[in-house]
Amino acid sequence: MPFTPIHMGPGILIKALLQSSFSLMVFGWTQIVMDIQPLVVMLTGEGHLHGFTHTYVGATLLAVFSAFTGKYLSEIGLKVLGLVENSPITILWWVSFLSAFIGSFSHVFIDSIMHTDVEPFYPLTLVNSFHGLVSISTLHKICMYSGLVGAAIYYAVNYCTSVGDKEYKNRP
């Protein structure tokens, strides 16, 4: 199913580990961009469901597109959501590219495990050696639990940082 949220679980864990060196918004935007082609196939009934976009070559091209567009969309989104005050927020280019590449490559890997029609190494080979690496149920659990663990780590790190900052400022 296009735009499945299971891809976000590993992204949340990566965000927790890399903190400001990773953009979860660019990662999420990349997940959407990756699944536009399957959505079009589902709506029109024409084409290969997990076609070129679900290859590492296609993922590379979509990562570049997602990094460029996602950087600006994320900055606008953060302002609209009110998560930044008057100071301008900027996502560094290398963070945007890192987040987009992790997003597109992890998307191909996860879908390669789930779907028989994914050909991740096309045009070199049509063989998908990742399919069935783990059961779909196990894959869903890994993605869900990685998101839960990532959220706990993220909030623990940010809570400890904010408490430490307050204590440091209140020292005599």
Contact between 54 and 118 under an 8 Å Cβ cutoff? The reply is: yes
- Both tokens assigned to 93: 């280019």
- For residues 130-152, average pLDDT: 96
pLDDT of 170 strictly over 60 = no
> Is pLDDT larger for residue 56 or for residue 79?
56
Contact between 38 and 2 under an 8 Å Cβ cutoff? The reply is: yes
What are the CA-CA distances from residue 163 to residues 33, 121, 153 (Å)? 38, 47, 15
What mean pLDDT is reported for the chain? Answer: 89
- For residues 71-87, average pLDDT: 80
Please, which residues have CB within 8 angstroms of residue 103's CB and are 6 or more apart in sequence?
7, 11, 26, 27, 28, 29, 30, 31, 34, 63, 66
pLDDT-derived band at 121 (thresholds 50, 70, 90) equals very high
110 membership: H or E segment, kind and range: helix 93-114
pLDDT digits (tens, 9 = 90+) for 43-71: 999 988 899 999 999 999 999 999 999 99
- For residues 106-123, average pLDDT: 95
- For residues 149-160, average pLDDT: 92
> Is pLDDT larger for residue 108 or for residue 78?
108
| pLDDT of res. 27 | 97
